[in-house]
Structures are given as structure tokens and as C-alpha cells.
Amino acid sequence: MAGVDVGELLLVARRWDRRSDHTSVERFLDYFPGAATLTTADLWQRPDRLLHLAAAAARQDGYTIWGVEFEIRAVLRSLSPKRRPRIVHFLYGDHDFHFSARSLRALGVRSVATMFFSIEEMERRMPRKGHLAGLDLVLATGSEQMEHLAQFVDRDRLALLPLGVDTDWFSPGAPDQRVPGRLLQVGANRRDLSTLLAAYDLLSTEIDGLTIQFVGCDPATAVFGGRSGVTVSDHLSDEELRAAYREAEVVVLPLLEGGSSNALNEALACGVPVVATDRPNLADYADDSCLTRVPPGDPGAFAAACRGFLVEPETRAAAALAARDHALTLDWGVVRGRLLEQYAVLLDR
């Protein structure tokens, strides 16, 4: 199998608000020095009627004029005889890819897209999926998501590639950084705050000094309004976010839908056990040594799982070690190696 020269790659990734240097998939680009990149900073980012019309024609929620321009620029770069990429990879394929596969293929360029949408989100936001069949490789971030995508993409063009994490940055802190009774919830997408509220109320009657910190979860202000021990932070720097993980005894991930999760990976990397709703993709990232999955909509089970980590220091310490071990298998450097293998298989076809 032939190797892959990173100089023949064009990696396309947008930057999201509230994600900083160590928390964005764009951090993955740093692991490919020498590769060509297209990021939000390269875009025109001005309203344009034709771009809006093209974006609307896709009928794909989340595909905007940014996606249109990313694809146009990817094709234009592929026209260059001096540095034509062999592979164009849309790292947010569910947002930034729709039209360009045929044009890239005509130029002899392979197209790759990573999909992050949950199964439910994919059905809701991407009702038409015919464009996915034009890709040379579709990367799923979870096994159940990959099975769903197999309805629309030939299996020989599907592969599993997990969401990675920067384990050099997200790492365990000193034991005395832990705040007794501290729960942490990061992010707002697909969160089941009503079940978490009921679980928190149950725990509050049993755990002295119970507190919960929310990061990047504005709806928690209204849902948890009036409860003691609740802190809601709109946005934290990378340093402050890492400190929040290191202070937590348990990270909670109450989910309405499945999908890959930066919060899960970052918690594992910081050596924090996680209690989460049992949804697709989670089992691909950790096992019950550090991740407790509870039935959807069951506050009693959620509270009981948190209680076990909060009142049993030895259980929590063992879970912390297992969490870090799992995270190391998800380090961006490891994921890079797996991706290069996928690229090599693709080019060898």
C-alpha cells in the first residue's frame, strides 16, 4: 500500500464560535504540517446573492454561503497544475460539502467528508442525502451512525474515524484541584436539561455541598433558575475550561440524541468520569470503566450513577485512570495515523 504525502492534501475546516485553539476540530490541522488548508479565515465572508441561491438549492440545514465558497475554492485550487491535491477532505462534511464531488472527480481529485450529525439530526437537517453517494470516502464518527449512512453510501466508501482530542492540553490536574460535590456540564447541543434538573434535585437532598457548573449552555439559566449551587458560564478560555474539568468530580452529559462529543473526550482526557444518557456513538469512545450510560429520561438512574462517583472516592479514582487511558486512544495524533491509513486505502483503489 502506497504512503500518503501530506503535501497532496487539501483540508477544509470552518472555525466555530465558542471553540478555541484546543477545542476545535480545526486543531487537527496542526497535525498535518505541509498540507494545504482552507479555513474560515480564507473566505470572502460577504453576503452574495448567487452564493445564497446556491446554498438554498442544497436544502441542507447548516450548509450556508460558507459551504458554497469552501467548495468553489476547493475546486479552484484543484485546477492548479503546480499543486493539485490528490485528496480534498471536508472535515465538517455535514456543513460544508454538497456540490463539488463530480467536479473534483473530473479533475482526478478524491473527495472525503467527515460526518458529525447524529442520526436524528441527519434526518432532520439533511433530508436529501444523494450528494453523499458522490464522495469517494465518507467518515462516520460512530458505528451506529455509520450503519445509518450505509443506507445512502456504498459500504466500501464508508469508514469509522472517531472524533479526537488534544490530550497534551486536556490532561488531569492535581488531586487537590477537585471540588468536592462538583458536577460539570459542557455544551448545549442536544442536551436534556429537564432530566438533569430532576436528577440534580434528587442529589441535592443527599449530597452536602453539591454544585453544578454549566459551560456554554445558556438555556441552563432558565431551567435551573433559583437552584442553589448552580453556575452558568457563557464562554470560557481554553485555560478556564481545562480548569473547570479538573475541578469536577463528575462530568454529566444528558443527551436528547446521540453523536460524538467534544465534552466527553475532553472529560476523559482530564481524567474525569462521565455519566451520560445512553445514546448512539458513546460506546465507541469509552466503556463502563469510566463512562456510565443511563436510560433516556430517567432522573433516578442519572442521580444514582452520579452518586456512586461522588460518595465513593476509590471508584472515582479508578474511573479517572481508565478515563485517561481511553482518551489516549483518541488523541489527535492517533486519529491522524488512522486517517492516513484511510487515505492510503483510498488512493490504492
Asked if pLDDT for residue 19 goes beyond 80, the answer is no
How sure is the predictor about 303, in pLDDT bands with cuts at 50, 70 and 90? very high
**pLDDT confidence band for 133 (50 / 70 / 90):** very high
The pLDDT value given to residue 62: 92
The answer to whether position 169 is within a domain reads: no
On whether both 10 and 36 belong to a single domain, the answer is yes
Cα separation, 63 vs 203, in Å, equals 41
Q: Which residues of 171-188 are buried (b: 16+ CB within 10 A; e: fewer)?
A: ebeeeeebbebbbbbbbe
Q: What percentage of the chain carries pLDDT values higher than 70?
A: 99
Mean pLDDT value across residues 172-182:
96
Instruction: Return the number of other C-beta atoms located less than 10 Å from residue 314's C-beta.
Output: 7
Residue 180 shares a structural domain with residue 221: yes
DSSP 242-301: HHHHHH-SEEEE-BSS----HHHHHHHHTT--EEEE--TTGGGT--TTTEEEE-TT-HHH
pLDDT value, residue 18: 65
Do 242 and 157 belong together in one domain?
A: no
Q: How far apart are CA 238 and CA 224, in angstroms?
A: 25
What pLDDT does residue 2 have?
A: 61
Are 19 and 143 members of one domain?
A: yes
- Which of 95-120 are b and which e, b meaning 16 or more Cβ less than 10 Å from the residue's Cβ? bbbbbbbebbeeeebbbbbbbbbbbb
pLDDT at 16 over 90: no
**Is residue 214 helix, strand or coil?**
strand
What local confidence, expressed as pLDDT, does residue 82 receive? 82
pLDDT value for 258: 87
Are residues 139 and 261 both part of a single domain?
no
Q: How confident is the model at residue 5 (pLDDT cuts 50, 70, 90)?
A: very high
The reply to whether 274 and 310 lie within a common domain is yes
- In this predicted model, what pLDDT tens digit does every residue of 144-173 receive, in sequence order? 999 999 999 999 999 999 999 999 999 999
The answer to whether residues 35 and 104 belong to one domain is yes
Would 250 be classed as within a structural domain?
A: yes
Q: Is the same domain home to 139 and 79?
A: yes
Flag whether 1 is in a domain: no
User: Collapsing DSSP states into helix, strand and coil, what is residue 341?
Assistant: helix
H or E element in which residue 90 lies: strand 87-90
Instruction: Kindly state whether residues 189 and 324 are assigned to the same domain.
Output: yes
The kind and range of the H/E element at 28 are: none
Q: Which CATH number covers residue 310? A: 3.40.50.2000
* Mean of pLDDT over the chain: 94
Q: Are residues 290 and 198 in the same domain?
A: yes
What per-residue confidence (pLDDT) applies to 54? 93
- In sequence order, what are the residues at sequence separation of 6 or more whose Cβ sits closer than 8 angstroms to the Cβ of residue 49? none
Q: Quick check: 169 and 242 in contact, CB under 8 A?
A: yes
Residue range 290-299: mean pLDDT, rounded: 98
Residue 197: pLDDT over 90: yes
Higher confidence at residue 349 or residue 214?
Answer: 214
**Which pLDDT does position 255 carry in this prediction?**
96
Q: Is residue 170 domain-resident?
A: no
Average pLDDT for 237-246 = 96
Count of structural domains within the chain: 2
Same domain, 197 and 249: yes
What's residue 150's pLDDT? 97
Rounded to 5 degrees, φ, ψ at 201 are: -60, -40
What pLDDT score was predicted for residue 26?
A: 84
Q: How far apart are CA 29 and CA 73, in angstroms?
A: 18
Question: Do 194 and 231 lie in a common domain?
Answer: yes
Burial 131-143 (b: 16+ CB within 10 A, else e): bbebbbbbbbbbe
Exposed/middle/buried for residue 155 (C-beta within 10 Å: 0-12, 13-18, 19+): exposed
**Residue 195 CA, distance from chain mean position:** 22
Weakest-pLDDT range from 25-34, 39-48, 286-295, 329-338: 39-48
pLDDT at 4 over 80: yes
- Kindly state the average pLDDT of the residues 273-299: 96
Give the model's confidence band at 114: pLDDT under 50 very low, under 70 low, under 90 confident, else very high. very high
Residue with cell 458529525: 116
Q: What value does the mean pLDDT take over residues 61-76?
A: 95
**By residue range, what is the domain housing residue 124?**
6-164+331-347
Residue 138 lies in a domain: yes
